[in-house]
Structure formats: structure tokens, C-alpha cells
A and B are shown apart, each in its own frame.
Chain A
Amino acid sequence: MSYEHLNVANLILTLLRYRTFTLGLAIIVFIGIIAALADTIAPYSPTEFVAGGLEPPSPKHIFGTDDMGRDLFSMTVYGARVSLVVGLLAALLSTVIGTSIGVLCGVVRGFVDAVVMRIIDFMLSLPYLAVALAIVAFLKPSIWIIIVIIAALSWITTAKVVRTHTMSVMGNAFVEAARAVGAGTGRIITRYVLPNVSPMILSSMALNVRGAILFEAALSFLGLGDPSQVSWGTILFYARRAGAFVLGAWWYIVPPGLMIMLTVLGFTLIATGLDEVLNPRLRTT
């Protein structure tokens, strides 16, 4: 690993040469465009009953309709928005929390580190989904609450990774040199630690997005998502409630399932690409 400051332009150019990363990025950009232009793309409102129940795909409803007569294409398109917003915001929040705590522990060490590590151990032993279900049961499941819950439960891995790397950076001679010259802790963190751990932060954030999207889908699938929003998980919940799995109404299940898969794949590819470029040991070329 090089300890030089990252050159953003260089980094992007390098990344784009990696097919994994480019493919992942292409997928995410594609889904991002769908999400951004949902209002123009979707022919109907995702919550209005516009047709009869469970109509198979037709020119009028290209993904068919659900059991209550909503247009599944529109629902899938709007679902992209909810899933992406939840995924990105929750990942951002959890990365910020995780990074701050990781850097703090790695730099300060001692008692604070010991306490935080015990908390992390404790939280690692919690079954996330069960805890999230319990919390959602008592709080109103709005999209924002769900974002906060996901972030609150998923900052741990980021924190652990960042802490380890911070410690290894702190052990370097140049940090000691900086200290000798009189640099304060703040300066060491901003000038030396953060730039050097940022590759880890980036790739763990990409993984966090993936986790958050899956988590939101799981919550919604159990019927505990925000009922006023249509996400891919919500569509799957409706499908299960309608017995679509039993009925063979494939058009009900396949689009949201594929979209979830595709998005998760996209973010995984991005994370892998980042890892390959920024972590020389993984480089294959």
C-alpha cells in the first residue's frame, strides 16, 4: 500500500481500466438514472389501482399488474428510488459513524478503545434482523427511521476495518516524524490517517450500500417497511401476500427480485474493483 496522497483523477482512470469496476458502475448508473427519472419513465402512479388484478405482461402494462391492479412496471421503477435512497444514505451514515469511531479508537487507544471494542463485540453478537424487527415494531417505520436503524446496526464492520488500518498507519515512521515536528492529533488524522485509510472506507462503503439495500428489502418483505413507499422489498411482500409464488405469477416476483440482485451485484463489483486497485496484494494484472 502506498502512503502517498491519492490523486483522484489518476485513481478514477485506473479504476475504469478494471472491467469489474466499470461493469458495476454501469449497472449502478443505469439504476440511478431509472430512479432519478422515475416520474417520467413510470406511466402510472405506483400506488393507484389502474387495472384488474394479476394481469400478465401486456403492451399496456409491460410488467403486468399486481393482485390489486397496480402497475408493476411503475412500482419497480419507483422502487429503485426508495431502495437506492435507503441504501446510499444508510451506507453514508454508517460509514461516517464507523470511520469516526474507527479512527478515534485507532488514534486514542487505551481505555476508550477497550470500551468501544467491547461494545462492538457485543453488537456483533446481535442478530441484526431480529433487533431491527424489534425496533421497527415500536417505532413508526418511516423510510428515515429505517435508514437510521440500518446505519446504527451496520457501522461496526467499517469501524473495525478502519481501526486496524489506523493503527498500522499510526505505527509508521512518518507519523512519528510529524509528531516530532509538532503536528497535533487533529493534523495527523486529517493529513496522514484519513488519506491512507480512505481506500478501505470507500470499498467498505460500497459493501455497506449492498447490505443496506438487502436489509431494507428484508424488512419490507416482512411487511415492516414504510407502507407509504413502494420499494422492491414491498413488492415482494405484496407478492407473498397475494400468493404469487404459489400461483405462478412470475411477472410479480421476477422484476423486483432481479432489480435487487442487479443492484447488489453492481455495488459488489464496485467494491471488488476498488479493492483490487487500492489494495495491491489483490491485483491480478
Chain B
Amino acid sequence: MLAAVLLAVVLTSLLLASVNTYAAMKIIRTKELKFEFWSLPWFPQSDKAAEVIAKQLEEVGIKLELRRLESSVMYPKIENFEFQAYALATSQSPNPMGMVNSFHSSYCKPGIGSFWCHADPEVDELIDKVKTTTDKEILRKTLWKIQEKLAYESGFIPVYLTQSVKVIRAEWKNYTVMSGGLVEAYDIWSMLYMYKSDKPEENVFKIAFPSDILTLNPFMTVDLRSIWVINLIYDPLVRLDKDLNVVPWLAVSWEVSEDGKVYTFKLRKDVKWHDGEPFTADDVVFTFTEGIKQETSRFLGLKDIVERVEKVDDYTVRFVLKYPYPFFLVDLASGYYYIVPKHLVEGKDLKKWNNENPVGTGPFKFVKRVEGEYIVLEKNHEFWIKGVPKITKVIVKVIPDAQSRFLAIKTGEVDTERYDTPITLVEQAKKDPSLKVVKAPGIWLVYIAFNTYNFFYDPKVFEAIHYAINRTGIIEKANGGYGYPLYTILNEYWHKDLAAPLKFEYNPEKAKKILEEAGWVDIDGDGIREYVGPTLTPTTTTPTPTPTPSPTATATATPTPTAPSATAPVATVTKVVEETVVKTVVSTVEVIRTMFSTVTREVTSVVTDWTPTAVLSVVLLVIGIAIGYVVRRR
């Protein structure tokens, strides 16, 4: 009997749980279109955009109350869905799954690090289809469909992609311009072919970093500065060319099985480690097997994809995947998976390995690093592409201050800098003939997002916002015109034809119309739209004293028998008075209630976050008083 009950309980909860995870987005409406709008004060590209967006949306009756918060306060709250709306930027990579996956309903949970939520079984199905299809055409069509659905239905509104603007000394020639910006991590080509003089010894490339790299361990890289250095010392299996196509690197060629689950790579035979040992399949198998097995941060993402990695012969490696993942090659090329030498690394705890003296196969050899000051690399003369790199020496200098970095470039102390040159300095650089400004699609997608998890979800409002924001105007004000308007979660600068050709022209009138049709009308004249329901128009919501209220005119009057309607004016007047009184009372109660709930919410949020501090303070205070009292007594 008990067992049966337990079983029933378990089954119901399982059923409920499954229903819960697969429920589509529920419409949640606030009373009016007013949102607290968070922004990071130290990220100008999104913070300035937030200011402009708030202004533009105010014109169509949507009020975004800007509030600046530090990331340490803001991110945890966003992850727990304790927010209303915010403006931020997210980084882009050539692998579209980074963006697309985040819209799977499994990310629609508080506390798992997800920043936005969209739970729609249809989108889930499409994402699963994308993850497993092998057909290019189906892949593109499905991705387009996902983008279209999300553009019209999700609370994630892309605004623009930043343009990377970098200053480099004009004597450097033959560099490559790639998405992400000049000499960024995907761009090995500039570092191979760039030169400034025919005399090799003069080709010393000096680059300024804002701060030191965090690690030389390719398994635990989190910052792009470390990756930049590691990228020159180590090689991956495949790389991206300047149009972001996957091209052979340590792997010469590859074959993909019919079902898309087995990738067989042929490796280069002429590659040597910097210490002279030959590079073989063992190194590749070791790197991937151990990287995944030891759960290193860089390789963790492969855990769900790669079943196993095996050696076929000394120069052939086979990857067996758990499912046919169409972006596996792109992921290998863009995921910063660098091959390390088995003979030197075997037996090490990869999470703690600090790799003081890196040995790789890449175009540059490690020479010296003085922490917090500089790093020196020199040309690998045995590099397996003959005749490159043309640069003989790379010096990474740490110069924390943006102005000092710029001045260093101007005076020739360094040649360029890691990360973009501030837009405001670019104007100065344009006037200087010894400097060149190089532009490329940047990595930051600036967007605004609404809390569709538990605060607000009305797709019509999001659609209206798409029309109400003037993206080119935002780029002009927020980033000096350096940017590309974005309308969907993918974009042509990073994902080429996978980006859906969808566009929302700036049209505030259309936005207003959409809002009105969706039932959002400003009825109290404060410039913020309230929800009145799609069938009503503003005139019918204000009660007009009609002598004979017909049941069709006011729905509220119907349940009671219409006897008073016969005795006309007096009854109507009293009724109006009554209504007014009731309305006033109700609205007063409502105001008090909202005030109260706001206060409680704020207080509880303070208390939950500050309990330890508060308790500690009180304890200290009591101790202090006690000591003071004892001392006084004596």
C-alpha cells in the first residue's frame, strides 16, 4: 500500500517535472511597461547604448529606468533571474552553437549561470535538430528558423556588433584582417606573414598588453591575453582562415564518416617539437584524452561531444563522437585546443600545471617571461611552414594605462596593442601618418534582455522594441559609429550564411501600432503604456455615465439585474460616485501594496545577501558595548 502511494507520488512528481521543463513560455504581463534597466558602468559600448535605448523606448511609451550596477552585484542576480531588464555585451565566436544553445529550455533555470531564458519546445526541437544534422542545407534552414522564432518571440534583443578598431605602426605590411580584429587570437596569419623590413633582425614585433597573462597552461586558459601568447607557441589540429573557413594545420586532411560521428585526421609528418622530438598521433590522443578526463576548463565543453579519441597509426587519429555534431571542426578550430607534447606533460596534474617553460610546435619559441612586465618569444627556425614567420622576435609588454599604451605606439616603443584602441583615441591616430587604423568586425554583441523567466513575457512588446530602437543611431552615439546593426542572434560577420537575413527597419510608428494592437495603451497619461487588453480601446475603459447601461457596453454590469436603470439620473450619479470611491480605494490599496512589496523585496534582498555581515556587525557591536561598559565601571 505504502509502496503504491510512494510510487504514485514519484510518478506524479516525475510527470510534473517533465511537464514543467517542456512548458512553452507563459505570458507574464506587468501592469505597465516600466522596467528597471541594469547596465555595467565600465563597459561604455553597452552602457552608452543603454542610455540611448532608454531614451528611444520612452518615445513609444516603454519606460526603462536605468540603474548602474557593478558586475559582482549584477551577474549573480541575473543568473538567479532576480532582475527586470538589462543591457550587456556577449562575446562572439565562429561556432554558432555558443549563441544558439543558450536558448534551449534546459538553460531556463536559476543559478546555473544562464543569462537569458527561452523555453519553447519547438525551439528545443530545432536546436536538437541542428546539433545532430549532417546536411548543410537543412542546417542553415533550421538555424534561420530558430533565429526568426527567437527574433519575434524571445526577450533577447540584439542591438549591434562592435567594430574592432586598432592602431598599428604604419611600417608594418602584409597583415591579415579577420573577424575579431587585427592580431587577435584566431589570427595567426598576420603573425606569420607580417613584416616591416627586408632585414630579418629588424622584424621585432612589440605589442602592449593592459595586464599580464594569467597562465601559460593551454588547458586552463580563461583570458584572451594568455591565449594570444599560447597561440604562438602551440598549434591546434585545424585553424580558421581569414574568411573563417576551417583549414588544415597540424592535421593535413580529414574524413568524416557517413553518420557524422567519426572524424579521422591525417597528421603532418614533418612537425617537430621545440626540443627536437617528433610530433606524432600520441601527442594528439594524449592532449584530448587527458584534457577531457581531467576536466580542465578549456576542454570541458568537449566532454558531452567526444566519446573517445584513438590512435590509428603514428600519423592518424580518430575522434568518435557521441552524436553527429555538425560544428565539430569549427569547434576544434576556434575552441583553443592546443596540442601539448606527451613526452613532457605526461603524468602532470593538468589543472595545476603552471608550464613555466612551454615547449610547443608553433611558429615561435618561448624565451623569457618576467611576471607583470614582459614576455619574449623568438622565431622557431624549424617551423614546418618554410620561410615563415617573418617576425624574428615578439615582445609582449605590460602597460596598464590606455593613454600610456597609445603614447607608446605613437613613439614607437611598441607596434600595436592587445584589445581595441579606445574610440576617442582613434581620431587622434587618424591624423598621425606614422600610425594606421585597422578596422574589423569585433567580438562584442551588445544586446538588451528582459527577464522572461519570471517577470515579463509578451512577445508583441519585444517585437515592438525591435522597431522602436534606431540601431544606427545607437552605434553612432555609443561607439562613435563603429559597429554593425544586428537583428538576430547570429550575424554574417561571424557566422556568414548561417545568419538569417532578417531586418527590422527603425519605425517607431509601427512599434506604437504593434503595442496598441497588443493591448498596451497609455491610459493615465504618464507616458508609460498600461495593459488594457487587446479587445479594448482607450475610450471604453474610462467609465462613462450612460443612463441605461446596456449589458453589451459594460461587462461588469451584467450579473446584477438591471432594475436601477429605470430610475435614471440619481441612481447613475450615486453609482458613479460609488464607482469612483471603490476605484480610489482599490487604487490606494494597490499603491500601498506595491509600496509594501517593493520595500519587503528590497529589505529581504538586503537581508539575504547581508545576513552574515549584519550578524557579525551586531556581535561586534555588542562586544564593543560590553567592553566599554566594563571599562567604565572600573
Residues of A within 8 A of B (CB): 47, 49, 53-54, 67-69, 114-115, 117-119, 121-122, 134, 137-141, 222-224, 227-228, 237, 241-247, 249
Interface of B is mostly: helix
| Size class of the contact patch on chain B | 35 or more
Q: Is the CB of B424 within 8 A of A246?
A: yes
Task: Among A67, A138, A222, point to the contact of B424 (Cβ < 8 A).
Answer: A67
**Would you give the shortest CB distance from A150 to chain B, in whole angstroms?**
18
B568-622 interface with A by 8 A CB criterion: 602, 605-606, 609-610, 617, 620-621
Extra contacts, 16 of them, besides A118-B621, A118-B625 (Cβ < 8 A), are A47-B55, A49-B477, A68-B51, A68-B478, A118-B628, A137-B69, A139-B606, A140-B36, A223-B68, A237-B41, A241-B44, A245-B403, A246-B406, A246-B424, A247-B428, A249-B424
Name A53's closest neighbour in chain B (CB-CB). Answer: B480
Could you say which residues of chain B place their CB within 8 Å of the CB of A138?
A: 73, 602, 605-606, 609-610
Q: Bound state CA distance, A228 and B50, in angstroms?
A: 13
Q: Quick one: which of B55, B402, B610 contacts A246, CB cutoff 8 A?
A: B402
A117 to B625, CA, bound (A): 9
Q: Per a CB cutoff under 8 Å, which of A53, A69, A224, A228 touches B41?
A: A224
Q: Residue of A at shortest CB range from B68?
A: A223
Q: How far is the CA of A228 from the CA of B51 in the complex (A)?
A: 10
Please state if B425 and A247 are interface contacts (CB–CB under 8 Å).
yes
B632 to chain A, nearest CB (A): 6
| B477 close to A53 (CB less than 8 A) | yes
Interface string of B28-47 (1 = CB under 8 A from A): 00000000100001101001
Please indicate the chain B residues that have their CB under 8 angstroms from the CB of A241 in the complex.
41-42, 44, 47-48
In the complex, 26 of the A-B residue pairs with CB atoms within 8 angstroms, ordered by the A residue number, are A47-B55, A53-B480, A68-B52, A69-B477, A114-B625, A114-B632, A118-B625, A121-B624, A122-B617, A122-B621, A134-B610, A138-B610, A140-B67, A140-B602, A141-B68, A223-B47, A223-B68, A227-B67, A241-B42, A241-B48, A242-B44, A244-B424, A246-B403, A246-B422, A246-B424, A247-B425
Interface residues of B (CB under 8 A from A): 36, 41-42, 44, 47-48, 51-52, 55, 65-70, 73, 402-403, 406, 422-425, 428, 477-478, 480, 602, 605-606, 609-610, 617, 620-621, 624-625, 628-629, 632
Q: Which residue of A lies closest to B406 (CB)?
A: A246
Residues of A within 8 A of B48 (CB): 67-68, 241
B424 and A242 contact, CB distance less than 8 A: yes
Q: Shortest CB–CB separation between residue B430 and chain A, in angstroms?
A: 13
Q: How far is the CA of A227 from the CA of B54 in the complex (A)?
A: 11
A246, B624: Cβ atoms closer than 8 Å: no
| Residue in chain B with minimal CB distance to A141 | B67
B624 partner, pick from A49, A53, A118, A139, beta carbons under 8 A = A118
Whether B632 lies near A68 (C-beta < 8 A) is: no
Q: Do B628 and A247 touch (CB < 8 A)?
A: no
Query: Roughly how many angstroms separate A228 CA and B41 CA in the complex, as a whole number?
Result: 14
**Complex: A249 Cα to B423 Cα, angstroms:** 14
In the complex, chain A residues whose CB is within 8 Å of the CB of B69: 137
A22 to B528, CA, bound (A): 48
Known contacts A69-B477, A118-B625; decide if A247 and B424 are in contact (CB<8 Å). Answer: yes
A137 B422 Cβ-Cβ under 8 A:
no
Closest residue on chain A to residue B609 by CB atoms: A138
> Residue on A with the closest CB to B37?
A227
Which 4 pairs of residues, A with B, have the shortest CB-CB distance?
A: A223-B41, A246-B403, A227-B66, A223-B68
User: Which chain A residue has the least Cβ–Cβ distance from B627?
Assistant: A118
CA distance A246 to B51 in the complex (A): 22
Q: Which residues of A contact B628 (CB under 8 A)?
A: 114, 117-118, 121
